[in-house]
Structure 1
C-alpha cells in the first residue's frame, strides 16, 4: 500500500508522472516552435522557470550559498548540459528530424546513464536489471516503429538525429552529475534554481545573437502561454520530480523511468491531437512497465512473490528471489 510519508515510495510515485511532464515538451514545444526561435524559446522557458522557482528556493539558496558558489563550475557545466543541449538543442533537432526518430534516440539515455555509472563509479548491472532494460527498450521500439519491422528498417538518420544523440548523452551526464557528493547538502529545489540560473546564463548570449539576426521576439498571447506551459510543466515539474528521484533512488533507477516517455507521448497525442490508439501502443506499454518493474522493484518484493509460488515456478524468478523460495 502506498505510504505518502515513505520517502522512497513518494519518490517512485513522482518518477512515474515525471515522464508525462517531459512528454509535454513535445506537444507544447512543437506548437511554440512555429512562432518562437529555438534559442529564444529555450532561454525564455528557463527564465520563466527560474522566476517560478525563486520564491520557494530562496531560503535554501541563502542557507547554502557557499556550497553553490564553491561548486559553480560544476553547476555551470550541468546548466549547459541540461538546459542548453537538452533545451535549444532539441528544438533545433526537431527542425531536421521526426519526433519518432527523436523519441527513439532520446530514450537511449537510461542505458547511457547505466554505462556511465559502470565506467566511472563501478556500478554493477544485475541480471534482473539487464532483462528489465531489454524489455523496456523493446517496448519503446514497438511504439515508435508502430509494431512494424519494415518501419524499423525504413528509419533514416540525419543531422537532427545527431543532435538528439548529443542531447541524450548530455542528459545522461547531467543525471550522473546530479548525484555528486559535493551537491548533496543543497536542497533539491534550491539546487534546481541554481541550475536553471546557469541554464539562463549559458543560453543568453546565443539568444541575443538570434534576436539580432532574425528580429523575432514572441509578442502573441499564444506564444507566451506556450512558453509558460514549457516553464511550469516541462521544466519546473519535470526536472524537480527527476532531481528528487535522483537524490532518493540514484540516477540509474530514476533514468529508467524515461522509458515511459513514448507511451505518455502517445497518450498526450490521443488526448490533445486526436490521434488513435493501436494494439502496438498497448503491447509497447506492457513491455515497458514489465521492464520497469523487473529492473526497479526491490529484492524484498521478489522474495515475497517467490515465497508464495511453488518451487518449480520460483526457479523462473531472478537471483535472490529464487533463493528465498528454496
Structure 2
C-alpha cells in the first residue's frame, strides 16, 4: 500500500513540476501591479533562500571552500539568473502579458544550443539547425503579433523585447553554470549559493525602491504573491525537478519541461483572463516543435513507457 502511494506521489510531482515553473510568469504578472519589480525579485529570492537553507546547510559547509573560490562566478550567476531573469522579467511583465512572456521565454533552450555552438564549438546537426530556425521564427511571430508591418514601422512591444533579453540571459546563465570549477558542488547547495548571490546583487536596487521610492509591500495580496513566487515558483519547482531526476532520471524529467509553454498559456488564460490569439497559436506551433527538434537527443527516452515500467508493482514472489 505504501509503495503504491509513493508511486502515485512521484508521478504526480513529475506532472506538476512544469506547472510550478510556469507559475512564475503568471504570479509575477499579477504581482507587478502592486509590487515594484526589483523589490518583488529580492523578496522572492530572499524568502526562497531561507526556505532552502535548512536543506542545503550541510552541503554548503562541506563545499564552502569551492564556493568561496568561485564567488565572482556566483555573483555573475546571481545577476543573470535572479537579477535579469527575476527583476527584469517582472519589469517586462508591466508591458506585456504572461502568454507572450511564456512563449518567448521558451526560446532560451534554443539560445543555449546556439551559445554552445558559438563559444564551445559544439556541433549543430541539420535537425537542430531546423529547430533553431523554427523556434526563432515562432518568437518573431509572437513579438510582431503576427503582423510584419510592425517590424517595418518599428512598432515593437518593449515588454516582449525585455523578455527576449531575459531568455538570452538565462541561456548565458545555463552555459556558465556548466563550468568545470563548480562541477564538484551538488545541485542543491550550489543553487542555494546562487540564490544567496542573486539576493545580494538585488539588495541595492531593492533599497532604492523600498527607501527612496517608499515602495515596500504593505498589502496581504502583495505578500501572498511573494510567498507564492518563493515557495511554488522557486523552491517547489526546483525540488520537484530534483526529485524527478532522482526517481525517473534526467531524460524523462527533461521531457516534461516541454509542457512549460502550454501550462503557462493555460494558467494565464484561467487566472489572468488573457486571450489566446491566432498569432499565439502559430507561435506555439513553431516554437515548441522547434525547441524539441533542437534539444532532443538523437536517442531520446520514452517517458510514458518509462513511467509505466517504473510504476508497475514489483512482485516479491510470495502469494
TM-score normalised by the shorter chain: which range applies? 0.7 to 0.9
Whether 2:15 is the aligned partner of 1:20: answer no
Q: Which moved more, 1:209-218 or 1:261-270?
A: 261-270
How many angstroms apart in 2 are the aligned matches of 1:142 and 1:91? 22
What is the correspondence of 1:155-170 to structure 2 with a 5 Å cutoff? Answer: 156-157=155-156, 159-170=158-169
Deviates more, 1:77-86 or 1:278-287: 278-287
Identify the range of structure 1 (35-44 vs 101-110) with the bigger mean alpha-carbon deviation. 101-110
CA contact (8 A) 2:32 2:91 kept: no
Aligned-residue offset at 1:289? 4.7
1:198 and 2:215 correspond: no
CA contact (8 A) 2:113 2:294 kept: no
Give, in whole Å, the separation in 1 of the partners of 2:228 and 2:132. 31
Change (3 A) 1:100 1:35: same
Q: Kindly state the Cα deviation for residue 168 of structure 1 after the two structures are TM-superposed.
A: 2.6
1:123 correspondence with 2:161 = no
The 5 A counterparts of 1:140-151 are: 148-149=146-147
The question of whether the paired residues in 1 share the 8 Å contact of 2:104 and 2:139 is answered with no
How many residues align? The count is 286
How many Å separate the matches in 1 of 2:115 and 2:165?
Answer: 15
Backbone CA RMSD of aligned residues? 3.8
Corresponding residue number in structure 1 for 2:43: 44
Q: CA deviation at 1:237?
A: 3.8
Structure 1 residues without counterparts, runs of 5 or longer: 1-9, 303-326
Q: What's the CA shift for 1:103?
A: 4.9
Could you list the per-position Cα deviations for residues 33-92 of structure 1 after superposition, in whole angstroms to 9, with x for gaps in the alignment?
122112211110001110111111112111111111111111111001111111111222
Q: Deviations over 1:173-216 (max 9, x none)?
A: 11101111111111111111001100111111111121111222
Aligned match of 1:134:
133
Question: TM-score scaled to structure 2, two decimals?
Answer: 0.73
Give matches, 1:88-237, under 5 Å. Answer: 88-97=87-96, 99=98, 102-103=101-102, 105-138=104-137, 148-149=146-147, 156-157=155-156, 159-237=158-236
Say whether the 8 Å CA contact 1:24–1:234 is kept in structure 2: yes
CA separation of 1:170/1:239 partners in 2, compared to 1, >3 Å: closer, same or farther?
farther
CA distance in 2, matches of 1:59, 1:170: 30
Structure 1 position 144, deviation (Å) = 6.6
Task: State how 1:58-69 maps to structure 2 within 5 Å.
Answer: 58-69=57-68
Q: Structure 1 residues 289 and 150, CA, compared in 2 at 3 Å: closer, same or farther? A: closer
* TM-score calculated relative to the size of structure 1: 0.72
Superposition pairs for residues 292-311 of structure 1, below 5 Å?
A: 292-300=291-299
- Who is 1:264 aligned against? 263
Secondary structure at 1:186 match in 2: coil
Q: 1:117 to 1:216 in 2, by over 3 A?
A: same
Distance in structure 1 (CA, Å) of the matches to 2:257 and 2:138: 12
- Alpha-carbon distance between aligned partners in 1 of 2:287 and 2:244, rounded to the nearest angstrom: 19
Distance 1:257 1:141 in 2: 25
Q: 1:198 to 1:243 in 2, by over 3 A?
A: farther
Contact map agreement 1:53 1:193 (CA 8 A) in 2: yes
Shift of 1:274: 4.2
Give the C-alpha shift of residue 265 in structure 1: 2.2
Q: Secondary structure at the match of 1:117?
A: helix
Q: In the superposition, relative to structure 1, how do residues 140 and 89 fare at CA in structure 2: closer, same or farther (>3 Å)? A: closer
Query: What is aligned with 2:71?
Result: 72
CA contact (8 A) 1:40 1:211 kept: yes
Aligned-pair CA distance for 1:127: 1.0
